[in-house]
Amino acid sequence: MSEGRDRILKAAEDLFGTHGFDRISVRDIADRAEVNKALIFYHFNSKDELFETVLLNYFESHTEALRESWDATGTLRERVHRMIDAYVDFIVNHRSWPKLVQHVAATEHGEHIPTVQRGLAPMIEWAVQTFGEIAPNEGPTSVRNLFETVAGSVLHHFTYASVLAPMWNGEPLNEAHIAERRAHLHWLVDIMLDAVESGAHL
């Protein structure tokens, strides 16, 4: 509704996503948004609430971007592959998202952990339902293990990009390298599903 509010949110997303909550000051955001510092408090009450709002907005986009994949039909394998693609697409379009989430997880920035948990809930629910068709609740090939491995494999490339750059000729995030990584993820999912289906873990 308000133009200032949107500009603030946009600036906050960019800056928090690039440098993290603690390295960005309210002044930085006001400068980038070209609004008065006090306006941020008028609209969001505190820096923490602003961050929370940014998080919630991201999760909204997240949910929206993935809903189609969550609702998808077809074989289990098809659904998982489609989700991988949607997930990678989402991150490519929202590069600061993994950093934001990981910032909350890593600094144990107390207040925001429940928000992230709530935001991730639909994703986890999807995983439980989908992988639940073929995997047990506990043990080496449990749903939660499959989920963590897929999620970790996807996210890792983006969160550690800066330090792993040398392995990717300095450009881990260019189109070709992301394509290579995406292909690997599809291969990974395939061998995992093969193995689970054939009971190879026994």
Using the rule CB under 8 A, give the single segment among 28-36, 48-56, 75-83, 147-155 that binds its own copies: 147-155
Tokens of 100: 């934001």
- The residue (of 35 and 83) whose beta carbon lies closer to DNA is 35
- The residue (of 11 and 123) whose beta carbon lies closer to its own copies is 123
Sign (positive or negative) of CA dihedral 96, 153, 121, 88: positive
**Binding mask 30-59 vs its own copies (x if CB under 8 A, - otherwise)?**
------------------------------
Q: Does residue 142 interact with its own copies by CB under 8 A?
A: yes
d(CA 65, CA 53): 18
User: Pseudo-torsion of CA 41, 42, 43, 46, nearest 10°?
Assistant: 20
Partner from DNA, its own copies, none contacting 37, C-beta within 5 to 8 A by type: DNA
d(CA 138, CA 114): 24
Using the rule CB under 8 A, give the single segment among 25-33, 47-55, 60-68, 151-159 that binds its own copies: 151-159
- 18, 25, 93, 174: which one contacts its own copies (CB under 8 A)? 18
Sign (positive or negative) of CA dihedral 145, 127, 78, 159: negative
Least distance to DNA, CB of residue 1, Å: 5
Tokens of 45: 């009450």
